[in-house]
Amino acid sequence: MASLRIKKPSTRRGKKALEEREPKTIENLKKTLIMEGRKCSNDIRQALRDLNLLKKPNSRMMRRNNDVTPFEDATPLEHLAKTNDCHLFLFGSSSKKRPNNLIMGRTYDEQVLDMVEFGIDQYTALEKFKTEKISQFTKPVIIFNGYKWKLTEELRRIKSLLLDMFRIDQIDSIRLQGIEHVLSFTLTDDLTILVRSYRIQLKKSGQRTPRIELVEMGPSLDLSVRRTKIASDNLYKVAMKQPAILRAAKRKNVTRDELGNVHGRVHVGKQDINVLQTRKMKGLRKTAEEKRQEKLNKQKRNADASMDEEMDGDSNAEGNEDMDDNDGTE
């Protein structure tokens, strides 16, 4: 029974730390745990350092090697992620069977949700690109090239994992001068993922919109998929569920296209064109002769209507007299 007892925090700092880890309507930014395995090559170490620079300040890099095999036993990895309050992880290792091994994954409810093992076929470090770098804490523009990203459920999950890994924050508006960094993920025909990093340069174009040039600044990676561990559809649906407060209310007859433009449908009843009010123009005014003729027609219609009423009244009177005569004879 002692192991089931929940120990309450005794200090204010401990209470605040626990409150930070509690579920929230709007979650904190996801942090990434970056760690090395038992054996690592120089390329893996340098790749992890470069990825740590791109992820800062939302990353936590472990300084020593860890004897962890995530695909065989993920318990130590889940414990480290929980201790460091990280929901994403990057794990690098190298062996004779799997050289230059890079594992990306994410956790949900303190357990591994998705995990993908990549092999680094080609790598060029950030320091080998002798170009100007971007400023720190810059949000990248993420681009996915290739039509095969949507072919299978596994590729769709890998795309979602990469987007979750490198997206810093979700924003509502952007400033053109603040866009400096582009991350490109290209899926080739042989299912190799080409990861490229570019710096955006705004050049004069003689117009209001500047001309944009992309300069590669590194790092550059060619990744091949080796092993995957994908969550079931039910668990993935539960992990992606949003609170009811954040869900936008469904609006009737309003749709939104791929570019974010809002389209509304309005239902209007049948209109009578004859009584429709239009703009008055002198050219559409009636002449004196047309007004005189319209007045005569109106008087004629009124006279005919009064004559019909008199005839109806006379016929009703005759009918009443006939009924009286009949009653007398009886």
Which of 74, 68, 11 is CA-nearest to residue 40?
A: 68
d(CA 84, CA 92): 18
pLDDT given at position 1? 41
Q: Give strand ranges (E) for the chain.
A: 32-36, 59-65, 88-93, 101-108, 111-124, 141-145, 181-187, 192-203, 211-216, 220-229, 254-256, 262-264
Tell me the fold of 29-241.
Rossmann fold (3.40.50)
Per-residue model confidence as pLDDT tens for the chain (330 residues):
445 566 788 888 888 877 877 777 777 788 999 999 989 899 999 999 999 988 888 899 988 888 899 999 999 999 999 888 899 999 999 999 999 999 999 999 889 999 999 999 999 998 999 888 888 778 889 999 999 998 999 999 999 999 999 988 777 777 777 788 999 999 999 999 999 999 998 888 888 888 889 999 989 999 999 999 999 889 988 888 877 777 777 778 888 888 878 888 888 778 777 777 766 666 667 788 888 898 899 888 888 888 877 777 666 655 555 555 555 444
d(CA 212, CA 68): 44
- Residues of 156-171 as b/e, b for ≥16 C-beta within 10 angstroms? ebbbebbebbbebeee
Q: Where are the domains of the chain?
A: 29-241
Report residue 25 CA to chain centroid gap.
17
Report the sign of the C-alpha dihedral through residues 44, 48, 49, 50, in that order: positive
pLDDT given at position 42? 92
pLDDT given at position 165? 92
pLDDT given at position 22? 76
What's the predicted TM-score (pTM) here?
A: 0.69
Those residues whose C-beta lies under 8 Å from the C-beta of residue 60, and which sit 6 or more positions away, are 31, 32, 33, 34, 84, 86
